Homo-oligomer: A and B are copies of this chain.
Amino acid sequence: MKQLQVMIEGSGRHIHMTKECLEALFGAGYELEARKYLSQPGEFASNSKVDVVGPKGVIKGMTILGPCRKFTQIELSFTDARTLGINPPIRESGNIEGSAPVTLVGPAGTVDLKEGAIVAKRHLHITCKDAEEYGIQDKEIIQIKVGGERALIFDEVVARVSDNYATAVHLDYDEVNAAALFGDNAVGIILK
């Protein structure tokens, strides 16, 4: 059995949005500025933040990622969802049909979204070379084993084969915390 060790990265809550949504929140002609570039080419964390409002609470100052997309999507953990009082589905990015409604509040306006809030399905980004070597197909469900004091095996990890990313597992902070994947412990083994 081949064993591939992979880096594990925690993804904090964030928002992708359309240009129309951005302008409704910040004003006509508003543009996102990059604060920090991310591992996917061209993607960045912007300096712009927005408040996200649900029926039970508010999360202030959520970071908007750029560049703008063709859909507005809020990626949360279940901890965040409980703060807001919403019940988002577990989805892959981009699949927002029928997902949870929230309201976005910016300095120039408010946007009521009928859908858009999801909890990201845990996933493995893997390069074409690594995927070929380890026999992993795009969209395949794989398992990731992690060690340490909160050792566990994550099932239902969807593989995304692309040379746009380095090979790494992306989890939300509920998952990072549940497995205590801090510092040197933030590695896993792909089980095949």
Residues of A within 8 A of B (CB): 77-79, 90, 121-122, 149-156, 173-175, 177-180
Contacts and interface: CB of A to CB of B under 8 A. Distances in A.
A152 B153 contact: yes
The interface residues of chain A, by DSSP majority, are classed as mixed
Contacts of A175: 178
Nearest to A171: B178
11 contacts: A77-B177, A78-B180, A121-B149, A122-B150, A151-B156, A152-B153, A152-B154, A152-B155, A174-B174, A174-B177, A174-B178
Contacts of A156: 149-152
A86 to B, nearest CB: 13
A146 to B, nearest CB: 9
Given A90-B149, A152-B153, A178-B178, 9 more contacts: A78-B177, A78-B180, A122-B150, A149-B156, A151-B156, A153-B155, A174-B174, A174-B177, A178-B179
